[in-house]
Amino acid sequence: MKRLCFGGSFNPVHHGHLICARAVAEARGFERVVLIPSALPPHKLQSGDVAPAEHRVEMCRRAVAGVPLFEVSEVEQARGGPSYTIDTVRSFRQQGWTHIVWLIGADMVASLPDWHQPQDLLREVEWVIMARYGSAMDWQKLPEAYRRLEGNVVEAPLIDISASGIRRRIADGRSARFLTPDAV
Ligand code: ATP
Residue nearest to atom 7 of ligand 1 (CA): 162
Cα-Cα end-to-end distance for the chain: 28
Q: Strands of 32-37's sheet, edge to edge?
A: 70-72, 32-37, 3-8, 101-105, 126-130, 153-154
pLDDT per residue over 136-153, tens digit each? Answer: 888 999 999 999 999 999
Point out the ligand 1 atom lying closest to the alpha carbon of residue 41: 11
Looking at residue 136, its pLDDT comes to: 87
Res. 33 pLDDT band, cuts 50 70 90: very high
Residue nearest to atom 15 of ligand 1 (CA): 8
